[in-house]
Structure formats: C-alpha cells, structure tokens
Amino acid sequence: MAVELTASRLLAPFFGTSLFVWTNIIAVIMAALAVGYWLGGKISERRPQMSVLLKIIFAGGIFCYVIPFTTEPLSIYLLKDFAVFTPASWLILISSFCATLVLFFIPIMLVGMTSPFLIKLLSTSHSDVGNVSGTIFAISTVGSIIGTFLPSLVFIAWVGSKRTILIFAIVLIIISAYGLARRKQYIYLLGLLLIIGPFIIPTALRPEESTILETESVYQYIQVQEQEGMNLLRYNEGTGIQSIFHPDKFTTGHAYFDMMAASPALFEADNLRVLNIGLAGGTAVRSMTHLFEGIKNITIDGVEIDAKVIEIAEDHFDLNLENLTIHIADGRVFTRLTKEKYELVLIDAYSNQVYIPWHLTTDEFFKEVEAVMYDDAIMAINLNATSVESDLYQAVSNTIANNFEYVFSMQVPGSFNYLIFASNERIPFSRLIESEVVQSSGLLFALVLYMVENAENIRYNQEIPILTDDKAPIEHMTDAMYWNLIFKGNNL
C-alpha cells in the first residue's frame, strides 16, 4: 500500500494524477499481486525454504529501491516523442501505463509472493492451516493499513515521495538481509550499505536550473520557477502556469489573469466584495488590488484547497494583501457554507492542470454560486477548451446558461483559455473599455477591447446536456477533446 500510494506522487510530475493514471496504478499493482500470489504458491511447493522467501523479499526491496532513481529518465524517454501534447491525451495515458508497468510490476509481484510462501512454510509445522492463513492475512491487512497511513500522514510530508519509497525499500532489505545473515549467507549484508544512499544522493529528481523551489503537498507536486524576473507556480507535469508574480508589475502579460484583474471596472460601486475560488498564488486578486488602489475599496475572500500552496504564495508571490482573507477549503464546500454575498465571483480552479474539478462544473454548483451573489453580481470562470465545438465547452457553458440569464464567452488570444462571464443582469462591458485603469495601460486596453469585441453570447440550448452532480464526465470529455486535437490539429 505504501508503494501504491506513493507511486502516484512519483508519476505526477510527468503524467499528472488524473483518474486514468490512478486506474493504471491500481490495475498494474493488482495484476502484479495476482501474478505474485500464483508464482509464490508455485515456488513454495517446489522449494519450501525460508532462505528462498528471504531472497525474494530482498530482491523486492532492491527493485523498490531503484524506483525513485529510474522514474525520471524512464518517464522522459516515454514522453520524448510527444512532449508537445497535453497530459490529457490518450498517448499520455499509454505512457503512464508503460511507466507504471516497468517501475512497479516486478517489485510488487515479488512482495506479493510472500503470503502464499509463508502459508506453505507454516503449514509444514502446523496442522491448522486455516488458522495459519487467517493470521497471515490479518497481519498483512494490518500492515496495509499502516502502509496507507504512514506515507500520506507522515513520510511524504516530512521527507518527500522519493525518500518514502526508499524508507520502505530499506525496511525490506534490512529484514531479509538480517534473516539471511542468520543463515550464514553474509553476502546479503552488503545490501545494508544502501542505507547511506538517501544521505549521499540529495535527490532522485533534480530540479531544473530555473527551479527555485520544489515540494509536495497532500494534493500535488509543486514547483516555483524563475523566468525573466517573474516567479511561476506550476503543478505536477509543469506544462501549465497556475500563478505569476513580478515584483515591479501589476499586469502579467498573460491575458486571462489580466482580464480577471480588470473585472472590477465592470461595477460603478466603489465598494466591492470579491470571491476567488482557486486562489493559488493570487495573481488576479493581487493585480486588481494594486490596479484599483485608491479607486475602489475591494474586499476579497480567497478560497484555496491546498494549504501548502498558500505558504508558497506568501513567500514567493507576495500574497500578503490586507484586503484578502484566505480560506483553506474546497470551493464547493465554501460556497455552500458561507453567509456572505459578493458582487464579483472569480473561478479558476484546476486539478492536474487541464481538468476542472467536476464538482465545480455542475448545475447544482452554479446554483450555489448564484445564491452567494447579489442580483446584479457577475461571475467569471476560466475554462480550458480546444474549441467551442468540444463537448466540454458545450456542456460547461450550457450548464452556466441554464443558471444565468446573460452569459458571454471570450477566447483568450493565443491560448485554449476561455473566460465565461455570467450574470442575471446585463453585463456592462462598455465600462471595462472606458475605465481609466484599463485605458492607462496600452496592452491591457488592447486586450480588453479585443476580448469584448469578440465576445460570444451564449443561450441555453435544450439539445445540449447539462452537467449534474449525478453525471459530470469531465475527465472523459477533456481526454476526448485533446484526442481530437492531436489527430485533427488545433485552431489557434
């Protein structure tokens, strides 16, 4: 269990941690265990000797030990021919399966041989085979429980995924080497020298030269990279940018961040309450706070599920705004429980970079968002889609249109990002264009003008399905969308 839980963390920087990657991990590990059980039974019948079992465990420990050092080169090798594609493609699905198979099948198979082997060994000296097998399976299950809690609650947070694997591998090596040494097979004690490995090799996955921080949280692998004077926040595979910080600039040059930052100009009121679901490094709310300083009194509630991200944002993205209250919570839970009302709601939450959390796309969710908005409030959501014809774009936008009277979609130039604005009152985009804040920046004005002029009005369509809490196949829609992109080209 420890290896299975940690496997997803090792693979996340290259393949993400989507449902499909988890499917690969679980399927490969179950197959390896099945083969291990069968093979362990066969070998135990032919050579029912404790020394044979200890050698199998020793080999399993060695194979586990090399996993952290081979994950990066193997994953890069598998990805090298199609690195330009998004991790949502089926090609990535196949690559993650191959990586999981190569890295984890043999060590898990070897460890799986232990239970039937022990049952055979003990049955030779005990007549109550049922009691023996029951005891072994009970102990094995307790071990699995320990192997479930220790990595997730202790080791991954304290020492990281790679060293977590090494710790459990070393435990297997120590146990088996000690047992073999007692049987005068001293050469296996050399395996104990591997204990110094984690201390002489500082990391099994060296960060890029531009990386100024890499760490892991309960939810994801996180990197902060420096590029042309800016800090960039990246998750998992690192192909997307979650937040941007420049110490001397309040606009980013990345259109959808800047468009969200300019959105307070849509309101005449001087006092605004803003809700930002998917705060991350707080790029948009930091920009809007500084852009409208002295012009509007903006109070912000920022919702971020990952506390580790907030710690990083405070240190590397200047997320120390006096007008910002940070809530460590799931966005859906927050909207359901909050008693506040907002003029502006910004939603920019993604998991594994290209997947919108499905529960933040449903009809029920948007009804909950509407409930925390004033009558003339505006919601803006970032949607990643390759085309307006994709099932993902159609389903999400139609679900929004089922809840709001006025819905407009704007494609961010040169990207797969769409900003969808929704309200139950007419959205005064002319205020954006006429705003002094927007007009004071030539680049921001050009962006706003382009996006407003090319906005598409979306009406609810009964022929297009809406997403519900009961049925919201977001990951399937996303993968199908990128599959079409790969084989049919893009329209950027």
CATH number assigned to the domain covering 2-200: 1.20.1250
- Which of the residue ranges 121-125, 283-287, 348-352 would you say has the lowest mean pLDDT? 121-125
Give me the pLDDT at residue 353, please. 60
H/E run at residue 234 = strand 230-235
pLDDT tens by residue, 116-152: 888 887 777 666 667 767 777 687 777 667 766 766 5
Quick check: helix, strand or coil at residue 459? coil
Categorize the per-residue pLDDT at 339 as very low, low, confident or very high, splitting at 50, 70 and 90. Answer: very high
Spatial neighbors of 270 by CB under 8 A, at least 6 apart, are: 295, 296, 297
Helical segments of 80-128, H only: 90-112, 114-123
Q: Which of 299, 320, 323 is nearest to 310 (CA)?
A: 320
Q: Which residues contact 134 (CB under 8 A, 6 or more apart)?
A: none
Q: How confident is the model at residue 492 (pLDDT cuts 50, 70, 90)?
A: very low
Q: Which of 136, 86, 188 is nearest to 415 (CA)?
A: 86
Q: How far apart are CA 2 and CA 147, in angstroms?
A: 4
Is residue 359 a contact partner of residue 365, using CB atoms and an 8 Å limit? yes
d(CA 326, CA 285): 12
Q: What is the pLDDT of residue 371?
A: 96
What pLDDT was estimated at residue 201? 44
User: Residue 288 and residue 342: Cα distance in Å, rounded?
Assistant: 16
pLDDT band for position 199 (cuts 50, 70, 90) = very low
Query: In this structure, is the dihedral angle defined by the CA atoms of residues 146, 152, 154 and 156, taken in order, positive or negative?
Result: positive
Which of 23-37, 68-82, 187-201, 252-266 has the highest mean predicted lDDT (pLDDT)?
23-37
Interatomic CA distance for residues 2 and 5, integer angstroms: 5
Question: Chain-wide mean pLDDT for the chain?
Answer: 82
Comparison of pLDDT for 53 and 22, the residue scoring more: 53
Mean pLDDT in residue range 15-35 = 81
- Secondary structure of residue 86 in the 3-state scheme: coil
**Predicted local confidence at residue 345, as pLDDT:** 97
Residue with tokens 């710690």: 311
- Given this model, what pLDDT does residue 483 score? 74
Q: What is the pLDDT of residues 263-280, one digit of tens each?
A: 999 999 999 999 999 999
* 258: nearest Cα among 377, 374, 319, 348: 348
Interior CA angle at 460 toward 254 and 371, to 5°? 75
Report the run of H or E that residue 45 belongs to, with start and end. helix 19-46
| Other Cβ atoms closer than 10 A to 196 | 9
pLDDT at 200: 44
* pLDDT tens-digit series, residues 356-375: 888 999 999 999 999 999 99
Model confidence at 13: pLDDT above 70: no
Q: Which long-range contacts (CB under 8 A, 24 or more apart) does 321-324 make?
A: 321/282, 321/285, 321/286, 321/289, 323/289, 323/297, 323/298, 323/299, 324/282, 324/285, 324/289, 324/300
Task: Answer with the residue of higher pLDDT: 131 or 432.
Answer: 432
Number of neighbours of residue 443 by Cβ within 10 angstroms? 11
Residues 99, 285: Cα–Cα separation, whole Å: 39
Residue corresponding to tokens 């997803």: 8
**Banded model confidence at residue 208, pLDDT cuts 50, 70, 90:** very low
| pLDDT band at 310; cut points 50, 70, 90 | very high
| pTM score over 0.85 | no
B/e letters for 356-369, b = 16+ CB within 10 Å, e = fewer, are: bbbbbbbbbbbebb
Phi–psi pair at 335, nearest 5 degrees: -65, -30
Res 206: pLDDT:
43
Q: Please answer whether residues 210 and 227 qualify as being in contact, where contact means their C-beta atoms are separated by less than 8 angstroms.
A: yes
Residues 414-434: b if buried by 16+ CB within 10 A, e if exposed: eebbbbbbbbbeebbbeebee
| 3-state SS assignment for residue 408 | strand
Q: Is 338 exposed, middle or buried (0-12, 13-18, 19+ CB in 10 A)?
A: middle
Cα separation, 377 vs 426, in Å, equals: 10
Tokens of 50: 């404790």
Q: Structural domain boundaries of the chain? A: 2-200, 227-488
Q: Is the pLDDT of residue 80 over 80?
A: no
For 33, 48, 119, 135, the CA distances from 129, given in Å and listed in that order, are 22, 15, 8, 10
Q: What's the whole-number mean pLDDT along residues 319-340?
A: 92
Average of pLDDT values for 461-486? Answer: 85
Query: Rounded to an integer, what distance in angstroms lies between the CA atom of residue 17 and that of residue 13?
Result: 9
Q: In sequence order, what DSSP letters do the residues of 300-347 get, joined into one string?
A: EEEEES-HHHHHHHHHHS----TTEEEEES-HHHHHHH----EEEEEE
**Arithmetic mean of pLDDT, 8-17:** 68
What type of residue is 402? N
In this prediction, residues 68-87 reach a mean pLDDT of: 67
Q: Which one has a higher pLDDT value, 145 or 33? A: 33
Calculated CA dihedral for residues 438, 439, 444, 448, nearest 10 degrees = 70
157 confidence band (pLDDT: 50, 70, 90)? low
Which residues in 62-89 are b (16+ Cβ under 10 Å) and which e?
bbbbbbbbebbebbeebbeeeeebbbbb
Higher pLDDT, 173 or 22: 173
pLDDT at 205 over 60: no
Pick the CATH number of 227-488 from 3.40.50.10860, 3.40.50.150, 3.40.640.10, 1.10.357.10: 3.40.50.150
With cut-offs at 50, 70 and 90, classify the pLDDT of residue 84: very low
Q: What is the pLDDT of residue 273?
A: 97
